[in-house]
Amino acid sequence: MSKGRILSGMRPTGKLHLGNLLGALENWKTLQNEGYECFYFVADWHALTTDYMDTSHIRSNIVEMVTDWLASGLDPEKSVLFIQSLVPEHAELHLMLSMITPVSWLERNPTYKEQMQELSNKDISTYGFLGYPVLQAADILIYKANYVPVGIDQAPHVELTREIARRFNYFYGEVFPIPDIKLTDFPKVLGTDGRKMSKSYQNAIYLADSPEEVRKKVSIMVTDPQRVRRTDPGNPEVCPVFSLHKIFTSVETQKTLDRDCRTAQIGCVDCKKILAGNLITTLSPVYEKRQTLSQKPDVVMDILTKGSEKARQMARKTLEEAKAAMKML
């Protein structure tokens, strides 16, 4: 017996970094291995909401990203891995849900307001972008998912999904279970410049980085800015290098490093070498698997095509139910 159905998705951003690994993939993998029925998908239509002007990278981004999924241990035998646009039922349910969703709910959405300001370099004053959460609701509801594992930034979207589901059920009868958010609380992963690790900041360490690249990136990481000379004592609490030690280094070694940094008994160069070593140890199985898989993009695509067929069967069934409830059959 399954513990419940899980659904989550990622926009096709291309190769993934440490932040994505710890923020989502590790969690997805745990759920997959703990007896949930898992559906994980590439939200390629969602990518269009902000990047409709240049769609040339979407396809290669899908393959890169899913290569990382597989290398990190998502298993197509256990989880259904698929592409949103290969399951057109999402679009049909999206249309139906869009009919019952008040515009004011969408305009109120904090993510919408934020992105409108942040992405001022892109023209996202589109119908599609406003409707982003309606498409997301269709993604979730079409599988009657019980849990949606996402970060806190996505909480408003899951909340909107719940409201849309309730409204549908109220008008047409109980079709959709109300999904719960499964908040992933993950360590905040800092990039080489000390800001949050992000593709757009160019401060990320990628799962695709070779051991040499990892060593190089760690070696140029910013440290405690007050520690100028080797003889200056440092403060691990404000050091981005140490923030990664907290995730990848044994508690014992952390204690030693903490003390040796504060007393200037260790230099940043050596401290970074230890970190790079630990990062490489953790990442090398993923890296190796990725190396093999990246030679076989058609294997990756095949997994997604088969997964999409599986997903589609379930999506069709729910769509029929929703149409029947609306007396649209």
User: Which residues contact ligand SF4 (rule: CB under 6 A)?
Assistant: 223-224, 227, 234, 236, 239, 241-242, 261, 266, 268, 271-272
Binding mask 30-49 for ligand TRP (x = CB under 6 A): -------------x--x---
Which option in ligand SF4, ligand TRP, none does residue 12 bind, with CB closer than 5 to 8 A by kind? Answer: none
Cα 91 to its chain centre, rounded Å, is 21
Which option in ligand TRP, ligand SF4, none does residue 191 bind, with CB closer than 5 to 8 A by kind? Answer: none
40: helix, strand or coil: strand
Rounded to whole angstroms, how far apart are CA atoms 19 and 8?
A: 17
Asked if 163 and 105 count as a contact pair (C-beta separation under 8 A), the reply is yes
Which option in ligand SF4, ligand TRP, none does residue 133 bind, with CB closer than 5 to 8 A by kind? Answer: none
Q: Which of 27, 67, 101, 136 binds ligand TRP (CB under 6 A)?
A: 136
Rounded to whole angstroms, how far apart are CA atoms 274 and 48?
A: 41
Which is nearer to ligand SF4, 208 or 261 (by Cβ)?
Answer: 261
Alpha carbon distances (Å) from 129 to 46, 48, 106, 139, 250? 8, 9, 10, 15, 44
294: helix, strand or coil: helix
* Shortest distance, position 210 Cβ to ligand SF4, whole Å: 22
Report the run of H or E that residue 319 belongs to, with start and end.
Answer: helix 297-325
* Residue 325, burial from CB neighbour count under 10 angstroms (0-12, 13-18, 19+): middle
For position 154 contacting ligand TRP by CB under 6 A, the verdict is yes
For position 9 contacting ligand TRP by CB under 6 A, the verdict is yes
* Shortest distance, position 191 Cβ to ligand SF4, whole Å: 15
How would you label 233-263 residue by residue, b for 16+ Cβ within 10 Å and e otherwise? ebebeebbbbbbbebbbeeeeeeebbebbee
Which option in ligand TRP, ligand SF4, none does residue 141 bind, with CB closer than 5 to 8 A by kind? Answer: none
* Shortest distance, position 254 Cβ to ligand SF4, whole Å: 10
For position 162 contacting ligand TRP by CB under 6 A, the verdict is no
Task: With both helix axes pointing from N to C terminus, report the angle between 110-118 and 155-172 in degrees, rounded to the nearest 10.
Answer: 140
Which option in ligand TRP, ligand SF4, none does residue 218 bind, with CB closer than 5 to 8 A by kind? Answer: none
User: What is the binding site for ligand TRP (CB under 6 A)?
Assistant: 7-11, 43, 46, 136, 139-140, 148, 150, 154, 157
